[in-house]
Each structure stands twice: as C-alpha cells, then as structure tokens.
C-alpha cells in the first residue's frame, strides 16, 4: 500500500510539525507501508531509505497546482495524508482545495487531513487581487456549498479529519458542524528518540554531559522557543527560586523554530538577554536545536528533575513537547488554557497554574523541590498519561484506520 504524506514541514526544518511528520512516516514504514512525502524544496529528509522524499514544492501557491496535479498522477497513491496548519503554507489557500483535486483524479483514494492547529488556517485576504480572483474560480470549480473561507474544502471533502486535542475538535465543529462524524482525536506522540534509562544510566550520562552533580536540581523547558511559549514567565520564576535554592539549575532543550512565527526570529536572543538581566545566565544552559532521531535530547530529559511549560495559551494534548516529557516520566508544571483536555489532572499527572503568573510557577517549583512524594506521584501519573494518550503504536493504528479501514486490515 502506498501512502502520500503532504507536509511543507519536514527535516531538516526545525519545527515540531517537521519532526512529528518524520516520526509518523517512520512508523508507517515499519508497518509495511510504501511511504512518500511531498514537501518543500529545502526539506531533503533524513536519508531514511524506507521513506521516499519528493522535495519539489516552492511556494505552495496557485501556480503550483499544476505541479501537484502532475505529481499526484505519477505517484498514484492509495491514500493521501495532509499535515495542515496555515503557517506551514504561508497562509495561502491553495492547499485547502487539495482533497477536491485528489478526488477529481482518483475516485477511490482516501484523503485525510490532520489539523496541527484549528485556529491558524489560510488567510485569502492577505494574498494579491489576482490570487483572490483565482480562489473564486476554485470555489466555483469545487462547488460553492460548504466551502469555508479559511479551510476551503478540507472539512467537506476530506474522508477523515484528525484533531490533536479537544479544543481543536471543538473549533472544527464550530466551523462546520457536519464534520463531527469524521473527526478523530489523535494527540501527537513524542517527537524524539527515547533513550532507555534502565538502572538510571541515561540520567547519569545526561547529567555528566551537563557537568552536574547529583545534588543539583534541574528545571527544564523542552521545545522550540517563540513568543507564545511564555519563556519570560519561567525565567522570572526561576530567578526567584534560585535565590532560595542555590542548587537549582535551568535547562532549555531546543532552539529557534524554522517556521515564520511572529516574533520568532529574535525571541531566542531576547530570552537569553533577559536571563542575563535577571542574573541567572550562569545557572542556565541553552542547548539550541537537536536532531530528533538521536539520543542527545532524551539524555538531557532523563537528567531533568522537573519540567515547566508556561505557554500563554495553556498546554493541550496537541503539544508534542508535553508528550516527550511524560514519555520520560517527568513531573511537569503547565499553564491552563481556555479549554483544557480532561486527561490533565491537577496534582495527579501535572501541576497547573494560570499563564503569565510567574509567582505561581515559583511556588509550584519550590513545592516540587521540597516534596519527594509529590514528585513521585507526578512521575507515576505522567507514565500512565503517556501510555494512555501518547503511544506511537496506538497513534499509528488510529492513523491507519483513518486513512482507510481496508488499509489498516492489510498491514502487519
């Protein structure tokens, strides 16, 4: 069986969407699927011989419809899987009509769209007048009924829709209520290779790489850094904690995001400057980007004692950085969002507080440092959460089912 994965984000691009696409393709290949990836020209892949990467797309605009149509005909997939967030495609609406294009070529090929975010779609208003006119022609061609402004025919003509968290699913239902019957909730599993910590070996290796002793307590942020991550909150909280607990150390695993996020280009340097201003730069380690298929990031997570995700919009099941943390059985402090997934239980598998509240983060950090029983309870809860929601085996099987039941039944 041949599956075509379409994603503008793919390695070596530094973005969670890129690494998660790669790991999904790798898992599909392990199930005997013939995996092809259509991506941007700079995304050459990881040299994995089981995945055929076609890095031929340039702008993802209207003029590349002919290229995609030609490629679809030559590739002749049994199923198409689109990784979608407007940001990946420069907010251009072209990609939002791909399910209709695919069905015009192949009647029996299933098309599945995975929404990386339900509130960052296309924005036709930001394109040229000619582009907007072309979109009107596309709407006429696709049929004007149930064509959404920001998501085109993705909701109407995809055979299945994958949402990564409850908030995203609710937003998709609000945009087009009839989609309810074909939405599956499949949170993204960890975006990295996870090293075995049998006998505490990985933890010891990770702390050795950081130059730390067993007496030091490591507070960690994992993931790409851009404004919505709320790093200021963590830095200010840690500055207070470090005065009271001189054994505390701060670790940032990750670097700049490869996507064009507002404010993302300078944010990493701004946060390093803030650490200096707060006089905690000597206690802080910044690793920069890492390769998800190698063990380095996993060793550093094993070396950590607690993780903090102070996101401005709150943490949800769609956050792959959270999935990586719970896979390592770590106590985690997170911020609450407008609609928090029921899987998160305060003081059972996470500690929660409001966004931008550095004093609350300070208090929770001190509590975690002072109470070994709380750390152990959160570790146990994290491991259970990882098994229930972030298993690659479960996510892969659910994805295969979404692609097509007969596809799922024909693989090992």
Q: For the chain, what is the mean pLDDT?
A: 94
Assess whether 399 and 364 both reside in one domain: no
pLDDT digits (tens, 9 = 90+) for 369-393: 999 999 999 999 999 999 999 999 9
Q: Do 63 and 75 belong to one domain?
A: yes
Cα 141 to Cα 69: distance, rounded to the nearest angstrom = 15
- Residue 174 and residue 79 share a domain: yes
Give the mean model confidence (pLDDT) for residues 56-67: 96
**Quick check: 398 and 186 in contact, CB under 8 A?**
yes
**Mean predicted confidence (pLDDT) in 233-257:** 96
**What is the predicted pLDDT for the residue at 257?**
83
Tell me the percentage of the chain whose pLDDT exceeds 90: 90
- Please check whether residue 109 is in contact with residue 137, taking contact to mean a CB–CB distance below 8 angstroms: no
| Same domain membership, residue 362 and residue 346 | yes
Query: What's the structural domain count of the chain?
Result: 2
How far is 46 from 39, CA to CA, in rounded Å?
Answer: 13
- If asked whether residues 276 and 145 sit together in one domain, one would say no
User: Quick one: 10 and 118 in the same domain?
Assistant: yes
Per the structure, the complete domain to which residue 326 belongs is given by: 198-389
Residue 263, Cβ density class (10 Å: 0-12 exposed, 13-18 middle, ≥19 buried):
exposed
Across-strand partners of 83? 114
- pTM of the full structure: 0.90
* Structure-token pair, residue 136: 């009107």
* pLDDT score, position 405: 58
- Mark whether 129 and 155 lie in a shared domain: yes
Are 288 and 345 found together in one domain?
yes
| Phi-psi sector, 240: left (phi>0), alpha (psi -120 to 50), beta | alpha
Helices (H), 158-230: 166-175, 201-210
Closest CA to 24 of 13, 35, 15: 35
Asked if 36 and 179 sit in the same domain, the reply is yes
User: Which residues, listed in sequence order, are joined to residue 400 by a DSSP beta bridge?
Assistant: none
Can you say whether residue 355 is alpha, beta or left, with left for phi > 0 and alpha for psi between -120 and 50 degrees?
Answer: beta
Instruction: Judge whether 38 and 21 are in contact, CB under 8 Å.
Output: no
Regarding whether 341 and 249 lie in a shared domain, the answer is: yes
Q: Are residues 29 and 176 in the same domain?
A: yes
Both structure tokens of 292 = 């998800």
CATH number, domain at 45? 3.40.50.2000
Helix (H) / strand (E) element for 161: namely strand 160-163
Residues 323 and 282 in one domain: yes
Whether the per-residue pLDDT at 368 is higher than 50: the answer is: yes
Which residue reads 């550093």 in tokens?
Answer: 300
pLDDT of residue 412: 36
């Amino acid at each position: 069986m041949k599956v075509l994965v379409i994603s503008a984000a793919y390695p070596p691009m530094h973005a969670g969407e890129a690494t998660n696409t790669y790991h999904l393709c790798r898992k599909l290949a392990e199930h005997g699927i013939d995996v092809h990836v259509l991506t941007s020209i700079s995304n050459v892949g990881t040299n994995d011989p089981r995945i055929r990467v076609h890095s031929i797309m340039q702008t993802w605009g209207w003029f590349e419809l002919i290229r995609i149509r030609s490629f679809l005909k030559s590739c002749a997939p049994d199923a198409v899987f689109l990784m979608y967030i407007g940001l990946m495609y420069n907010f251009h609406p072209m990609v939002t009509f791909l399910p209709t294009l695919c069905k015009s070529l192949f009647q029996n090929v299933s098309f599945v769209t995975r929404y990386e975010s339900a509130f960052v779609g296309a924005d036709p208003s930001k394109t040229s007048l000619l582009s907007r006119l072309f979109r009107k022609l596309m709407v006429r061609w696709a049929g004007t009924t149930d064509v959404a402004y920001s998501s085109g025919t993705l909701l109407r003509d995809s055979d299945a829709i994958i949402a990564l968290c409850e908030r995203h699913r609710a937003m998709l239902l609000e945009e087009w209520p009839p989609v309810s019957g074909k939405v599956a909730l499949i949170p993204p599993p960890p975006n990295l290779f996870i090293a075995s910590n049998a006998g505490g070996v990985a933890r010891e290796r990770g702390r050795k790489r950081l130059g730390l002793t067993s007496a030091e307590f490591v507070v960690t942020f994992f993931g790409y850094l851009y404004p919505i991550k709320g790093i200021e909150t963590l830095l200010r909280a840690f500055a207070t904690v470090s005065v009271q607990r001189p054994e505390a150390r701060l670790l940032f695993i990750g670097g700049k995001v490869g996507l064009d996020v507002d404010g993302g280009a300078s944010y990493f340097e701004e946060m390093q400057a803030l650490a200096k201003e707060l006089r905690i730069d000597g206690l802080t380690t910044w690793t920069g980007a890492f390769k998800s298929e190698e063990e380095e990031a996993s060793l550093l997570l094993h070396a950590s004692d607690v993780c903090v995700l102070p996101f401005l919009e709150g943490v949800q099941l769609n956050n792959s950085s959270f999935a990586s943390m719970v896979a390592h059985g770590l106590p985690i402090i997170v911020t609450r969002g407008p609609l928090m997934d029921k899987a998160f239980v305060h003081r059972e598998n996470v500690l929660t507080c409001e966004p931008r509240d550095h004093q609350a983060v300070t208090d929770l950090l001190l509590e975690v440092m002072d109470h070994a029983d709380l750390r152990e309870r959160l570790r146990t809860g994290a491991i259970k959460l990882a098994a229930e929601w972030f298993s690659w085996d479960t996510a892969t099987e659910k994805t295969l089912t979404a692609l097509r039941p007969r596809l799922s039944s024909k693989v090992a």
